[in-house]
Amino acid sequence: MKIENQEGLLLNVIADIGVLEWRKYQQRFPEVKVGNEMRREDHSGLPPFIAFRFKFISEDAIDKLRATVEGYKGALSWSFVGRSREGLPGINWMIAPSRLWEVEECAFKSNISAAVYLSIHEPLLGPLAYKDLAGLTEHIRSEFSIF
């Protein structure tokens, strides 16, 4: 199923690179339940992330994707990070602004997530990252010849 939200379009490109088993992303304007009604909230202060797990993918494809993400010359530096699942097979991958990992220790000491930490201490990063995400998406699409 294709994602229509601008901030989720990169997952459509990633799914063209390899079949996905799981996916998740930070929505900029999610619908949230407030009382008995759904409201659209602005989460622009939280930097975008794209998380996913491939059903199967070659190491060469992973290496190319990492090099493409980390070689992107946009407004921000982006990282491609993998974490093994505890007690389960597979690796969960995440693409996000590099700054997210750079503030992890400070965020941990403040007892908040790195995304919330950035929304408080660097509030302009989120909106800038959402704009830059479109360029990163096109860069990956081009490098993998996905049109």
pLDDT digits (tens, 9 = 90+) for 27-75: 999 999 989 999 999 999 999 999 999 999 999 999 999 999 999 999 9
Could you give the 3-state DSSP secondary structure of residue 128? helix
> What is the rounded distance in angstroms from the CA atom of residue 102 to the CA atom of residue 116?
13
Q: Over the range 19-49, which residues count as b (16 or more CB within 10 Å of their CB) and which as e? A: ebeebebbbbeeeeeeeeeeeeeebbbbbbb
Residue 137, pLDDT > 90, answer yes
Q: How confident is the model at residue 1 (pLDDT cuts 50, 70, 90)?
A: confident
The vertex-136 CA angle with 132 and 137, nearest 5°, equals 115
Residue 145, pLDDT > 90, answer yes
Q: What is the pLDDT of residues 73-116, one digit of tens each?
A: 999 999 999 999 999 999 999 999 999 999 999 999 999 999 99
> What is the rounded distance in angstroms from the CA atom of residue 75 to the CA atom of residue 48?
14
